[in-house]
């Protein structure tokens, strides 16, 4: 589940980590191709696109935005 929701869902640390692994597995091939071709990727994050996973842990806060960037795109 990666959609913003109004009902609070509590992720265990393991579930949260597993979700991050899925995201990284999905984006890693794109990053590899971009590195091979010297292509720059612009990353933009806003409150409206925070997932239910982020919102359940941090609420709709700047800390959630930082977590989204850091844990998804910084390897």
Identify which of 75, 74, 16 has the alpha carbon closest to the alpha carbon of residue 45. Answer: 74
Identify which of 31, 40, 13 has the alpha carbon closest to the alpha carbon of residue 75. Answer: 31
Angle at 45 between CA 68 and CA 2, to 5 degrees: 50
The residue that leads in pLDDT, 35 or 7, is: 35
Q: What is the overall mean pLDDT for the chain? A: 79
pLDDT for res 57: 84
Q: Are 55 and 7 in contact (CB under 8 A)?
A: no
pLDDT for res 74: 61
pLDDT in tens, 13-25: 898 888 888 888 8
Whether this prediction's pTM lies above 0.75 is answered by no
pLDDT for res 48: 77
Q: Are 53 and 71 in contact (CB under 8 A)?
A: no
């Amino acid at each position: 589940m990666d959609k913003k929701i109004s009902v609070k869902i509590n992720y265990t640390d393991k579930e949260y980590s597993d979700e991050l692994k899925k995201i990284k597995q999905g984006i890693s091939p794109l990053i590899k191709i971009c590195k091979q071709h010297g292509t720059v990727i612009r990353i933009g994050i806003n409150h409206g696109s925070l997932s239910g996973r982020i919102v359940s842990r941090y609420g709709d806060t700047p800390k959630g935005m930082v977590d989204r960037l850091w844990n998804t795109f910084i390897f």
